[in-house]
């Protein structure tokens, strides 16, 4: 009997529980071999059209994507040694394959010919846009290079993909390598009941009694925000910020330092091969922003507007901590005293809000909001294969038709990468038989597991995170683009991709929405008006401090990608320089934040971290229409749906924004939302 490899079936995600590590490499090798053969035949075709050339290419791409996506997803959320090795092997084949396609001169000239003949072939605006971007993609993959240089380029790409994977795995291993069991509850004085329950659940999940502190986010935040024991806060802070560095608990076993050096050096070499001065230039070639200098000017403009206010916020915090005998506020004191100050000023705490945000109620409220604004309903299913018992699966419906699906994986656990993200399982497109393949997304968060005999309860911050990822989700799932290459988030420039996600965050501060998503887990009572008002008042607590922190990360990212290749110590120096100019509360010497900055070293944000702020200009200004027309205004919702969400990557984001808003974006709503005085803005 031969066993079918689930990755070679039509819909591998439906067999997610059968995906054994052993299946990965053979499946990827086979699909790539099939694709190569068919692509060779396609390029030989005379009289190429969209239908006989681009569409068949999409079909091949789609099959490969659908096989790889669950592998990559499982590697993130159910990591194991075997899967990790299989993933790395598959990734290596994929990198070779995609570099080779990007450098294929026959494919390139076929694409160029189609583009040149676009009028004759009556290609749509979307198809033309895809071809234009695809031609740029070929150039950025080195299609114009000599054979020898192409080989060098391919080698760089391959090594980079290995290094990124290693970088991410080091963080996961370093995070899991540290733990602190606590048997004496008194050591945890200050922690509210719900935070204690998180630590108790941590211990219980590992078959232990008492409490367990780990470096997973809910646990880390519980200690840093609430533990009265300053020494304990320092210990946990130190363990967290030295992860994956030479100072780490694991004695440098998972040190990302050498990996960072090599990544920066290879990225620089790659940019130079393609004729750019540095990697930042290469990165911006396919983004909305036009040059690294423009990005820096933008960030400095924000810093100019926010800096003094951030200093004032810190001074207030320092003065407050001094009353408790803290003469020198340390980094491990910031969250703790900030929370206390916030409680004193606004009489509100994140922990106190938890009982009002029951996951199911929040999800239902979010669905109702989405239905109201974007005309789509949701239903949970229970017959789909899932990779963990806590994972949920939902369908999106319009006119009784299922138009999209998503998997929701909410809770932190071992062997699961930290953070929150949306990823693509499959994308919408119209097949050669005129069928629509619907989009499917994965929404992943790392909230605390529900405590015994209680439903899962979220802090308001976690609610905001959920709305954010859901915003990415609806960008992917509500698309109406028929072409694979531009549907959903495909082909959306990095610095525009955070528009729908950050847009959705805004709803979490409006009474109409809060009333829909909140309900005390014992009484069902929505968040009382006085608490709600305080929550809204507290929204911009320390917002300028938060803003300058984001600016610091963004400047660090763009500048290290503009410099000649840096070494571990010069990376640190660069960061220190930027902190001198921007940070109001410089972290201690031993802080190795950069060693776990996976957005830029392992993810897609290299020379692109500024995207959060860049896209926030768009998202804040987009939301200002809802402030003008009413946050639940259907007409505004439909406008956002048809001009932004449905359009995906089918046109330039600026064009889409102008169509939606009737004008270019302004930076004013971003600063106003953050409670920052707009008079300090210089144009």
Q: Based on the number of CB atoms within 10 Å of its own CB, is 290 exposed (0-12), middle (13-18) or buried (19 or more)?
A: exposed
Measured CA to CA in angstroms, residue 612 lies from 253, 494, 508 at distances of 32, 9, 18
**Structural tokens at position 95:** 């990198």
**Cβ-contact 384, 15 below 8 angstroms:** no
Question: CB of residue 494 vs Zn ion: minimum separation in angstroms?
Answer: 11
444 or 501: whose CB is closer to Zn ion? 501
268 or 501: whose CB is closer to Zn ion? 501
56 or 603: whose CB is closer to Zn ion? 603
336 or 614: whose CB is closer to Zn ion? 614
Question: CB of residue 238 vs Zn ion: minimum separation in angstroms?
Answer: 29
**Cβ-contact 600, 606 below 8 angstroms:** yes
521 or 610: whose CB is closer to Zn ion? 610
142 or 608: whose CB is closer to Zn ion? 608
Question: CB of residue 502 vs Zn ion: minimum separation in angstroms?
Answer: 7
- Binders in 501-520 for Zn ion, by CB under 5 A: 501
Residue 253, number of CB atoms within 10 A of its CB: 12
**Cβ-contact 144, 174 below 8 angstroms:** no
**Cβ-contact 128, 141 below 8 angstroms:** no
Residue 338 lies near Zn ion (rule: CB under 5 A): no
Nearest CA-CA partner of 639 in 621, 657, 654: 657
Question: CB of residue 608 vs Zn ion: minimum separation in angstroms?
Answer: 12
Question: CB of residue 501 vs Zn ion: minimum separation in angstroms?
Answer: 4
258 or 604: whose CB is closer to Zn ion? 604
- Binders in 474-503 for Zn ion, by CB under 5 A: 501
Residue 216 is a catalytic residue:
no
Measured CA to CA in angstroms, residue 252 lies from 81, 170, 248, 264 at distances of 20, 10, 6, 20
Residue 5 lies near Zn ion (rule: CB under 5 A): no
Nearest CA-CA partner of 50 in 5, 117, 101: 117
Residue 225 lies near Zn ion (rule: CB under 5 A): no
Q: Can you spell out the DSSP letters for 93-126?
A: HHHHHHHHHHT-HHHHHHHHHHHHTTTTTT--HH
501 or 619: whose CB is closer to Zn ion? 501
Q: Which of 195, 261, 395, 469 is catalytic?
A: 469
Question: CB of residue 422 vs Zn ion: minimum separation in angstroms?
Answer: 7
Which residue number has the CB closest to Zn ion?
A: 501
* Binding residue count for Zn ion, defined by CB under 5 A: 1
For residues 242 and 486, give the distance between their C-alpha atoms in angstroms, rounded to a whole number: 40
For residues 175 and 215, give the distance between their C-alpha atoms in angstroms, rounded to a whole number: 6
Nearest CA-CA partner of 279 in 599, 606, 561: 561
Question: CB of residue 598 vs Zn ion: minimum separation in angstroms?
Answer: 14
**All residues at 6 or more sequence positions from 528 whose CB lies less than 8 Å from its CB, including other chains:** none
Nearest CA-CA partner of 587 in 346, 314, 356, 400: 314
Question: CB of residue 376 vs Zn ion: minimum separation in angstroms?
Answer: 21
Measured CA to CA in angstroms, residue 648 lies from 425, 428, 443, 643 at distances of 16, 11, 18, 9
- Binders in 534-593 for Zn ion, by CB under 5 A: none
Residue 214 lies near Zn ion (rule: CB under 5 A): no
Output helix, strand, coil percentages for the chain, rounded to the nearest 5.
60, 5, 30
Interface ranges with Zn ion (CB under 5 A): 501
Catalytic residues: 469
């Amino acid at each position: 009997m031969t066993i079918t490899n689930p990755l070679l079936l039509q819909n591998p995600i439906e067999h997610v529980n059968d995906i054994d590590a052993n299946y990965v490499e053979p499946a990827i090798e086979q699909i790539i071999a099939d694709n190569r053969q068919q692509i060779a035949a396609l390029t030989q075709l005379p009289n190429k059209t969209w239908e006989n050339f681009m569409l068949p290419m999409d079909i091949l791409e789609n099959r490969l994507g659908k096989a790889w996506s669950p592998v990559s997803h499982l590697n993130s959320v159910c990591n194991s040694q075997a899967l990790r090795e299989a993933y790395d092997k598959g990734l290596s084949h994929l990198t070779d394959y995609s570099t080779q396609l990007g450098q294929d001169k026959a494919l390139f000239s076929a694409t160029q010919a189609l583009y040149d003949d676009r009028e004759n072939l009556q290609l749509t605006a979307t198809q033309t846009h895809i071809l234009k971007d695809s031609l740029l993609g070929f150039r950025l993959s080195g299609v114009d290079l000599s054979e020898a240089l192409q080989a060098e380029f391919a080698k760089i790409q391959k090594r980079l993909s290995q290094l990124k994977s290693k970088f991410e795995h080091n963080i996961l291993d370093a995070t899991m390598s540290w733990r602190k069991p606590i048997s004496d509850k008194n050591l945890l004085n200050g922690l509210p009941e719900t935070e204690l329950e998180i630590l108790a659940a941590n211990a219980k999940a590992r078959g232990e009694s008492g409490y367990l502190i780990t470096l997973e986010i809910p646990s880390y935040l519980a200690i840093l925000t609430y533990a009265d024991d300053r020494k304990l806060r320092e210990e946990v802070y130190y363990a967290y910020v030295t992860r994956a560095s030479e100072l780490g608990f694991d004695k440098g076993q998972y040190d990302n330092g050498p990996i960072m050096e090599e990544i920066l050096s290879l990225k620089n070499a790659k940019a130079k091969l393609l004729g750019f001065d540095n990697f930042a230039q290469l990165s911006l070639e396919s983004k909305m922003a036009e040059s690294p200098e423009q990005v820096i000017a933008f960030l400095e403009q924000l810093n100019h507007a926010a800096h003094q206010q951030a200093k004032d916020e810190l001074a207030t915090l320092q003065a407050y901590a001094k009353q408790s005998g803290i003469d020198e506020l340390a980094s491990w004191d910031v969250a703790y005293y900030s929370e206390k100050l916030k409680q004193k000023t606004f009489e509100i705490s994140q922990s106190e809000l938890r009982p009002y945000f029951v996951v199911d109620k929040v999800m239902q409220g979010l669905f109702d909001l989405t239905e109201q604004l974007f005309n789509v309903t949701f239903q949970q299913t229970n017959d789909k294969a899932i990779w963990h018992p806590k994972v949920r699966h939902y369908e999106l419906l319009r006119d009784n038709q299922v138009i999209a699906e998503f998997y929701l994986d909410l809770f932190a656990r071992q062997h699961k990468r930290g953070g929150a993200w949306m990823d693509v399982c499959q994308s919408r497109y119209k097949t050669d038989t005129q069928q629509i393949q619907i989009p499917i997304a994965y929404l992943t968060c790392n909230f605390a597991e529900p405590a015994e005999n209680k439903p899962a309860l979220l802090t308001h911050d976690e609610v905001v995170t959920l709305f954010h990822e859901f915003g990415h989700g609806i960008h992917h799932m509500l698309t109406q683009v028929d072409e694979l290459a531009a549907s959903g988030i495909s082909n959306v420039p990095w610095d525009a991709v955070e528009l729908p996600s950050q847009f959705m965050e805004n709803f979490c501060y409006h009474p109409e929405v809060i009333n829909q998503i909140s309900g005390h887990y014992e009484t069902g009572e929505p968040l009382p008006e006085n608490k709600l008002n305080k929550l809204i008042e507290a929204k911009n607590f320390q917002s300028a401090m938060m803003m300058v922190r984001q600016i610091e990360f963004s400047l660090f990212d763009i500048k290290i990608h503009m410099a000649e290749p840096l070494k571990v110590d010069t990376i640190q120096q660069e960061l220190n320089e930027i902190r001198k100019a921007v940070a109001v509360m410089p972290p201690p010497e031993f802080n190795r934040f950069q060693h776990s900055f996976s957005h830029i070293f392992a993810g897609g944000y290299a020379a692109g971290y500024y995207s959060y702020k860049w896209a926030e200009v768009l998202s804040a200004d987009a939301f200002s229409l809802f402030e003008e027309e009413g946050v639940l205004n259907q007409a505004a919702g439909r406008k956002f749906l048809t001009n932004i969400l449905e359009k995906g990557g089918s046109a330039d984001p600026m064009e889409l924004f102008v169509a939606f808003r009737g004008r270019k974006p302004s930076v004013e709503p971003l600063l106003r939302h953050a409670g920052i005085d707009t008079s300090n803005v210089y144009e």
